[in-house]
Amino acid sequence: MRASLTTTQLNISVLTFNNMTNLYANAFSFQVILANAGWIPDGEAVTIHLEPGIYRGPVTIKRNNVTLMGPTEGTAMFTGDLAGSEILPDGQKRGSFRTQTVFVDADHFKAINITFENSAGPGETASQALAIYSDGDDMYFENCRFLGFQDTVFTAPLPPEELVSGGFRGPKEMAPRRPGRQCFIDCYIEGTVDFIFGGAVSYFKNCEIFSKLRPDDKVGYITAASTPKEQHYGYVFDECTFTGDAKPGSVYLGRPWRNFAHVAVLNSYLGEVIHPDHWHDWNKPDAHSTVKYFEFNNRGPGAATTLPDFARFLSEDEAREYVQDKVLSHPLPPTDNSLPKLR
């Protein structure tokens, strides 16, 4: 059950030790801190200790070396309700990348005991609705919850080329595509369609991946990776639990947002919600020879003994290449500074 949340009166306390600034804030003073962080020296690590409460988005964090620390799981929540289907005053749809409750555009970011939510509703009405847009390197989430439906968690960068006109409209539409590494430990992530997506190297350890029920027996998709061709790793799920209240056999582990999607699921429990085929090609036969959909040592009623011809099981030696240290320490490809190709 979700904890009951309240807000308290404005209060900011500051404590500095070991070259780290510690700020103590509630739902009111948090925005004050973000707006007035210039007094903290550049490069100095900042930890913001959050009191229990509801922190209203959208929130943008563009400073490196920031840690958000919640008191206990579920009691400090960032929430918003921006929906991709919303028509804006200029007549355009808001689209995916202007819906995020929290936008982190920085390196060395950490969040511990934090809930990120987009409450816009199911994709059938709200379309895309991001709880977090996470763009940076050395990003770490521990004991966090990510709540939403479609496109809950975006692990940037964006792909270099749009497939649909206006599809990238948002804060990084024209920015260089800079690879990054992200780590999720003991987290809960929920959604219905493509609810973990993007191009980052992302390692998920001991996380619960919860697929929510869709109307009319529609199928669901967990990942929609857009792994850059030159990148050695994509998404790695190790010792995770794939559960949900979706119809049994209705949820795919992933489909390729771009043709070099790379996802590995290892040592994990696959619940009965997982589709017998496990992987979907998004009707892209040309991706069969380029995607990397790998599995190793999975168990549970959704585990499989055979996979589609564009996915395969790893050997023990191959699986050793997907341990946390190797995944997150492997060098990244260079930033793509060419202009994104927009339609």
Q: Which residues are catalytic?
A: 151, 194
Tell me the torsion sign for CA atoms 153, 155, 157, 161: negative
Q: Name which of 334, 335, 329, 337 is nearest 181 in CA terms.
A: 329
At 241, give phi and psi (nearest 5°): -120, 120
* Distance (Å, whole) CA 172 – CA 67: 22
CB 194 within 8 A of CB 153: no
* Distance (Å, whole) CA 70 – CA 314: 38
Two tokens, residue 332: 């990244």
DSSP output for 250-300? -EEEE--SSTT-EEEEES-EE-TTB-TT-B--TT-GGGTTT-EEEEES-BS
* Distance (Å, whole) CA 205 – CA 86: 35
CB 264 within 8 A of CB 227: no
State the distance between the two ends of the chain, measured CA to CA, in whole angstroms: 44
CB 236 within 8 A of CB 205: no
The residue to which tokens 């409460």 are assigned: 53
Two tokens, residue 228: 């850059």
* Distance (Å, whole) CA 172 – CA 323: 31
